[in-house]
Amino acid sequence: MSDFPDYNDLVKKDLENIRQQEQQKFSKQQQEMERDRRLVEREQELQRQRKLQRELEKEKVRLRAEIRRKKAIKAEQERLGQEAINREERRKQQIQSDGDKARQQESQKQYPPRSYSPPSYFPSPHSTIEGHLQELEHLIGLNNLKDELRKYINFLKIQKLREKQGLSQVTITLHSVFCGSPGTGKTTVARLMGQIYQQLGILKKGHLIETDRSGMVAGYVGQTAQRVDQLVQSALDGVLFIDEAYTLKPVGYGNDFGQEAIEMLLKRMEDYRDRLVVIVAGYGDEMTRFINSNPGLKSRFSRYFYFEDYSPEELVDIFELFCEQHRYTLTEAAKEVLLTRFKELYEDRDQSFGNGRLVRNMFEKAIEKQANRLVTISDVNPDTMQQILPEDIV
């Protein structure tokens, strides 16, 4: 046997080792490539998921905005519908009131009514400031408002005295904001204020012109400005009272013809600043939003008066006034039932709580129900025709 190694075996062994190393290296490279491929795929999947998540978030935001927009449109439509109903109700009440006044003319001397119905649009030439203040004092409720108005009128009196004595005056803004729910006497007080301004010599006539959005805003460009101008001309030397003025600037409706009405009104207020007093009225929160929506409004309307809802007891007093005016009497038992009913309505009241209008509606329903009760009775006399019983209260 030879002592020399078998080089062929060594070479084979080395080649085998090299081959194995190459295979291991190749296998390792394959594993690394597979790992990298998986990492790339995972990153791509994460990016796709992030993109999908972003798209979902955008869609959610769009859907929420669409829901809010539809809710706002629905709420505005409901509000405008309710305002149309309220206007129609006011028109019917005015027709009923005119008829009632005509029927009462002959009986008023014997049964003089207390003050609740609104005064005439035009003040009497024989009226006095003291008479108007007494009329204000006789209005039911509104105690805080009466205090504020007395202070305000006293201030105006002193300013007129200073003017007569040749002393400098404080610049005052007569334009006012009346904040309160429907039926709280805003129009009545506005008419009284016009008459007081006339007695103080601030306004020559002191009459009141009442309007709202429907009386100011037209459906075509240019007509709105013409309407506003006509209203202002009719109100010169008196008071222009704009009820539910916040509807001139609806929420979410941008610039409609109401904006044109506002701009024209502001221009005419400046043109006739010594001959015109403007009072805007409506719900407190809505009026604050309305005034703050326009710098011109905010600078001209800085005096606010707040009209509180009537309490249940005050609502009963108003009901009794209607009874006096129409020759009815409310029995004590019926009065208790009525007070309980008003307490329930007062506790559940919302923004549309009718106050004095609610009382008028309940009075009309009560006398209608009383009439249906009386027709079933054979012996009807004047006393029974005047009495309102508990079963007549709706």
Q: What residues contact residue 224 under an 8 Å CB cut-off, 6+ apart?
A: 216, 217, 218, 257, 260, 261, 264
Which carries the bigger pLDDT value, residue 115 or residue 257? 257
pLDDT at 261: 92
Q: What residues contact residue 369 under an 8 Å CB cut-off, 6+ apart?
A: 391, 392, 393, 394
pLDDT at 102: 53
pLDDT at 196: 94
pLDDT for 111 beyond 60? no
Residue pair 224/257 in contact (Cβ under 8 Å)? The answer is yes
Query: What are the Cα distances from residue 286, in Å, to 60, 177, 246?
Result: 31, 11, 6
Tokens of 322: 């209607």
Distance CA 281, CA 180 (A): 8
DSSP code, position 123: -
Distance CA 16, CA 19 (A): 5
Distance of alpha carbon 175 from the chain centroid: 19
pTM: 0.65
Query: What are the Cα distances from residue 328, in Å, to 16, 234, 321, 384?
Result: 125, 39, 10, 10
Q: What residues contact residue 170 under an 8 Å CB cut-off, 6+ apart?
A: 159
pLDDT at 327: 93
Which carries the bigger pLDDT value, residue 75 or residue 238? 238
Look up the CATH superfamily of 113-307.
P-loop containing nucleotide triphosphate hydrolases (3.40.50.300)
Helix (H) or strand (E) holding 363: helix 356-374
Which carries the bigger pLDDT value, residue 209 or residue 255? 209
Largest CA distance in the chain: 160
Residue 260 CB burial class (10 angstroms; 0-12, 13-18, ≥19): buried
The mean pLDDT of 12-30, rounded to a whole number, is 87
Helices (H), 272-352: 284-292, 295-300, 312-325, 332-347
Q: Are strands 238-242 and 208-211 parallel, antiparallel or unpaired?
A: parallel
Q: Please give the mean pLDDT across all residues of the chain.
A: 85
Of the candidates 265, 276, 128, the residue with the CA atom closest to the CA atom of residue 202:
276
3-state secondary structure of 294: coil
End-to-end Cα spacing for the chain:
135
The residue to which tokens 């009141």 are assigned: 208
pLDDT at 223: 86
Is there a common fold for 113-307 and 312-392?
no
- CATH entry, 312-392, from 3.50.50.60, 3.30.110.30, 1.10.3720.10, 1.10.8.60: 1.10.8.60
pLDDT for 107 beyond 70? no
pLDDT for 70 beyond 60? yes
pLDDT per position as a tens digit, 288-342: 999 998 999 999 998 999 999 999 999 999 999 999 999 999 999 999 999 999 9
Q: Domain extents for the chain?
A: 33-109, 113-307, 312-392
pLDDT per position as a tens digit, 195-233: 999 999 999 999 999 999 989 998 776 789 999 999 999
87 pLDDT band (50/70/90 cuts)?
Answer: confident
Q: What residues contact residue 251 under an 8 Å CB cut-off, 6+ apart?
A: 72, 76, 289
Which backbone phi and psi does 253 adopt, to 5 degrees? -100, 5
The mean pLDDT of 147-166, rounded to a whole number, is 90
187 pLDDT band (50/70/90 cuts)?
Answer: very high
Highest mean pLDDT among 8-22, 124-138, 153-167: 153-167
